[in-house]
Amino acid sequence: MGIESPTETSESTAKEDLREFFENNIQRLENGRYMVSLPFKDNIRFLGDNENIARGSLKRFLFKNRNKSELIAAVDREMENYLKCGYAEPAAPKKPDELVHYLPILPVVKQSSAQSTPKVRVIKDAGARREDEAALNDVLHGGANLLPDVIKVLLRFRQDEIAVTCDIEKAFLQYRIHPDHRTFLRYFWPQGISKNPQAPISSFALVSDRDPRVQQAF
Question: What does the pLDDT profile of the chain (218 residues) look like in tens digits?
Answer: 444 445 555 667 778 888 888 889 899 988 888 899 999 999 999 999 999 999 999 999 999 999 999 999 999 999 999 999 889 999 999 888 899 999 999 888 877 656 666 788 888 999 999 999 999 999 998 877 778 899 998 998 899 888 888 877 777 777 899 999 999 999 999 999 999 999 999 999 999 865 444 443 33
Q: What is the pLDDT of residue 144?
A: 74
- Where along the chain do its domains lie? 36-143+178-218
User: With contact defined as beta carbons under 8 Å apart, do 101 and 80 qualify?
Assistant: no
Q: What is the pLDDT of residue 109?
A: 84
Q: What is the pLDDT of residue 104?
A: 95
Q: What is the pLDDT of residue 211?
A: 46
Buried-state track 137-155, b at ≥16 Cβ within 10 A, e below 16: bbbbeeeeeeeeeeeeeee
Say which DSSP state 190 is in.
Answer: -
3-state SS, residue 40: strand
Q: What is the pLDDT of residue 1?
A: 43
User: With contact defined as beta carbons under 8 Å apart, do 145 and 110 qualify?
Assistant: no
C-alpha 203, offset from chain centre: 16
CB atoms within 10 A of CB 177: 20
Dihedral sign, CA of 100, 49, 74, 211?
negative
For the CA atoms of the chain, what is the radius of gyration? 20
Q: What is the pLDDT of residue 44?
A: 94
Q: What is the pLDDT of residue 15?
A: 80
Q: Which residues contact 26 (CB under 8 A, 6 or more apart)?
A: 34, 35, 36
CA-to-CA dists, residue 38 to 58, 86, 97, 120, 174, angstroms: 25, 18, 20, 26, 16
> Which pTM was predicted?
0.81
What is the Cα–Cα distance from 5 to 32, expressed in whole angstroms? 42
What is the Cα–Cα distance from 84 to 181, expressed in whole angstroms? 21
The arrangement of secondary structure in 36-143+178-218, i.e. its CATH architecture, is: Roll (3.10)
User: With contact defined as beta carbons under 8 Å apart, do 107 and 84 qualify?
Assistant: no
Length of the chain: 218
CB atoms within 10 A of CB 194: 19
Q: What is the pLDDT of residue 214?
A: 43
